[in-house]
Structure 1
């Protein structure tokens, strides 16, 4: 990983909190293979560090993440369980320590679905969420095809996953994806205040409580993520995805009228 790539994921520790920041604002915090690897490493390091009790995931004042960097993603599709994106999701899902997300601005694709695996999500009043997987000819990922119907019921989940519609922080609170919405310039401060409250709690009791809360979901999430991954990789090579990606590059609306 070169110096530029290293600076795209920043990690700092203070007050027993590890803050991991997505730091590629010039590209709307779009995630590359190298960035997923760095995120995985940062999460695993924080999990193993006895001086860290809480993890905070953050982006920038107007951008959390626009999802995958499409050019990089097409060059390095997520094939196999050791693909960087799946390693990142596993490091997040299996992390024993509380994870707090501070979300400002756009959270698209995996920028939204990763939040399903955080313990707390604080959103700024400028936050916008979207899962446009079907729109680009692929299927949902990160267990979202199971977890969103569980959270919202089938019909509201279908609206978000099949139509790929955007939704704001107020709806995200209604859906149970976000704990609360605050002023955008206070998002990280509120997330840190929450993290400090968690730091003050007995650490083993916190870790045990998190483990017990997630215990019943582990195998089901792993199974649905495998199904999603298999379908996602196959669909990336399909005509619908090619049309969507070509239209994106050509800055036009995709035309799916010729597909069965």
Structure 2
């Protein structure tokens, strides 16, 4: 497990913390692997009843680490990122998220798979996929319109602008806004309360609440295929090179 992501299990809750605040918790391959392991353990371990995902200091997750993303070698077997995608989409135990600050790209789209999302007033959200020359992932091209409607989804995804916690709550991405100092304690209390609920009833209710899973998984595969095509394109490579170019 990477030291940039920490996992703790207590009182029926598996808590995952991104601990790379100096890089705004941007995800590396090792961090994906750590998150995948936590999701898979939550699924397999009957003593774990709930997954809690949070960031550190004043940031949740600013998306992929682009330098790491471009330098990842070809891998045999399931990629850690794919394990995270599939794990979140298939997990039938409740997921709670506590968002301290920035939630960008994958840092935002993973929240779409949480059942309860709490955010600090300072939290800011963004889907910059078009600006980076790629397409939405993690089923977000299906889930965002499902939550907010097609026109609002197009505005959020085409323009890729930041929106604040109040807007996220109004649009239905966030359950409640909680002061920063109280955010994690409240999220943890909720996760522990869920861990005490009747297990099978909670799982069945979650399955009923979320959208058609085969359709969601198929859309995720479609997104990944187009994402890979876009990533290899000259347009996207030029954008990535510009993002990584050292500032004078």
Q: Which TM-score bucket, shorter chain as reference?
A: over 0.9
Aligned to 1:23: 19
Q: Distance in 2 between matches of 1:200 and 1:249?
A: 46
Structure 1 residues 68-119: Cα deviation after superposition (integer angstroms, max 9, x where no partner): 0101111228989822211111111111211100111101100000001111
Shift of 1:251: 6.1
Aligned to 2:181: 185
Aligned to 2:240: 245
Instruction: Provide the secondary structure at the position in 2 that maps to 1:61.
Output: coil
Alpha-carbon contact 1:25-1:60 (below 8 Å) kept: yes
> Cα–Cα, structure 1 residues 222 and 112, in superposed 2: closer, same or farther, change >3 Å?
same
Q: Which runs of 4+ in 1 moved over 4 A?
A: 77-81
Shift of 1:196: 2.2
Structure 1 residues 44-80: Cα deviation after superposition (integer angstroms, max 9, x where no partner): 1122222211111011131110110101111228989
Instruction: Provide the secondary structure at the position in 1 that maps to 2:131.
Output: helix
Aligned partner of 2:59 among 60, 63, 72: 63
Structure 1 unmatched runs, 5+ = 253-260
TM-score (norm 2): 0.94
Structure 2 unmatched runs, 5+ = none
Structure 1 residues 157-215: Cα deviation after superposition (integer angstroms, max 9, x where no partner): 1111011111111111111111111111111111012112212211121112112223x
Shift of 1:138: 0.7
Q: Distance in 2 between matches of 1:145 and 1:81?
A: 26
Q: Distance in 1 between matches of 2:128 and 2:168?
A: 16
> Aligned runs of 1:103-142 on 2, under 5 Å?
103-142=99-138
Q: Distance in 2 between matches of 1:251 and 1:202?
A: 53
Alpha-carbon contact 1:113-1:142 (below 8 Å) kept: yes
Aligned to 1:204: 200
Aligned length: 247
TM-score (norm 1): 0.90
Aligned partner of 1:43 among 39, 46, 50: 39
Q: Distance in 2 between matches of 1:158 and 1:8?
A: 33
Shift of 1:241: 0.9
Alpha-carbon contact 1:100-1:120 (below 8 Å) kept: yes
